[in-house]
Each structure stands twice: as structure tokens, then as C-alpha cells.
Amino acid sequence: MKSNRKYNLYRNSSAQVGIGTLIIFIAMVLVAAVAAAVLIQTSGTLQQKAQSTGKEATQEVSSNLIVKGIDGIRAKNSTADLAGNISLLKLKVGLNVGSSSVDVNQVVISITDGTGTNNLIYANNHKTYGYTMKDFDVSATAADNLHDLLTGTQAAPGANAKYYFTVEKIRDEDGSFTQGKPVMNTGDLAIFYVSTVCAGDTTFDKIGTTTVSKAQKDSGLEVGPRATISIVLTPESGVVTNADFITPSSYGTKETVVLYP
């Protein structure tokens, strides 16, 4: 026999009403709004910092120069009367694949011959030493500025050859590279000129195609046979570029000597 069961549904229709409940509700809403605002502001700040850090990190690893080759030029009076040492280095420089633009005006070239070291800045950079290179002219040709690099000097900081380098563009499809504002983009190719005239080689008339008329200034370096040379190119941002080499045991009768790679 089945027992009779009766189920009753309990209904509670009572609720909290009044000013106190309203105040509590408003307080909860305000707390949630403040918390949400703090979270949104914090996440926005973190996002901006992350984007900035990511951009700087990307630029740091992607902005790098590449030295494609280095030739050494010996000073001469004639094809039979050549200096015993290298008087001028021609660095053929480009950018690695995917590199960001590089402002050559901010590049520093450090070169050492094992005895002395020159830290060279671009000829139009006046922030480091307080002066641009003596006689440098943004409207002049690269050849004219090279002549001034080899022969110019001033009271401060001294001989141009010890403190500056100049450049000449080889390939510049977008026209971004000028003597006043040498900016390199992907695909650009330029020659960086570094004077290595030593004290014993200042009595020659020409260095390459540049007529110096025995007025070239001592760079403080000596790039003779069997010399160990180390060159470091440091851009404003990005990784540094190294080019180390040992010069040949003899230059023979060559006016232009391939030194690197």
C-alpha cells in the first residue's frame, strides 16, 4: 500500500527594501567601477611599456651595419713611388636584411693598430667634440670632404684624420643619403673613408684620386705589413659590427690592397 505524500512549495516573497539596501547596492557598484578603472589603467600602462620595450628590442637587434669589404690605399708620388704603409681605408658598408634605417651621423668607428686607437665620428657631427670637421661642407662633394679629412686640422680637437671619418654613397635609390644627413636604408651602399696616414708618409702628393700636395696630416695610426687591425662600427642603436684583419706580409707594387674579408 502506498502512502500518500503531499509536497508543498515554499514561497518566500519577502525582500530587502529601503535606503540602507540602496546605499549598499550603490557602494558595491562604485567599488566595482573603481576596481575596473584601476585594472584598465594598469593594463593600458603595461601595454604601452610592452610595446615600447618590444620596439626598442626589435630595433636593437635589427639595426646593424655590415662591412662588405675593406680596401687600403697607399699614398704615392707616382706609380713607382709608393708609401710603405696604408694611408686610407675604404670601408664598403651596407645594411643587413631587415635592418632599420641607420643615421651615419651617429655612428662611431673605433680603429686600433695595436698601439693607438682612434674613435672617429662623422664629419658633420658637432655634439661629441663640440666642432664639426674642419672645412666640412654639407653642400660639397664627397671628394672635397675627403680631401679635408686628409689635410685639415684645427686647434680643437686637432687633425681631422684623428677624430673624423667621411662617407660617399654608392647606391641610394630613395635619395635619403646626403653629405649633411647621411641616412642608410635597406639596399643602400656607401663607402666610409678612414684616414690612416702615419707620420712618415706625409711627403706624398696623392692618395688615391685625391691630390693632397704633401699636406696630409698624421692620423696617429700605422697600417704597415703584418699589422693587426681591429675596427668596430657602433650605430646609435643596434648591434656593433666588427672587422678584424691582418695586413699582408708585403704590399709589393700594389697601390690598392684588399684587406677584408
> Phi/psi of residue 49, each to 5°?
-65, -40
Q: What percent of the chain has pLDDT over 90?
A: 66
Encode pLDDT of 155-190 as tens digits.
889 999 999 999 999 999 999 999 999 999 989 999
Q: What is the pLDDT at residue 60?
A: 47
Encode pLDDT of 12-64 as tens digits.
666 555 677 777 778 888 888 888 888 888 877 777 766 655 555 454 454 58
Domain boundaries in the chain? 16-62, 65-260
The helix (H) or strand (E) run that includes residue 55 is helix 19-62
Encode pLDDT of 63-82 as tens digits.
589 999 999 999 999 999 99
Cα-to-chain-centroid distance, residue 196: 22
The terminus-to-terminus CA distance of the chain in angstroms comes to 107
Encode pLDDT of 72-123 as tens digits.
999 999 999 999 999 999 999 999 877 888 999 999 999 999 999 999 999 9
Q: Which residues contact 191 (CB under 8 A, 6 or more apart)?
A: 90, 91, 92, 93, 167, 168, 169, 170
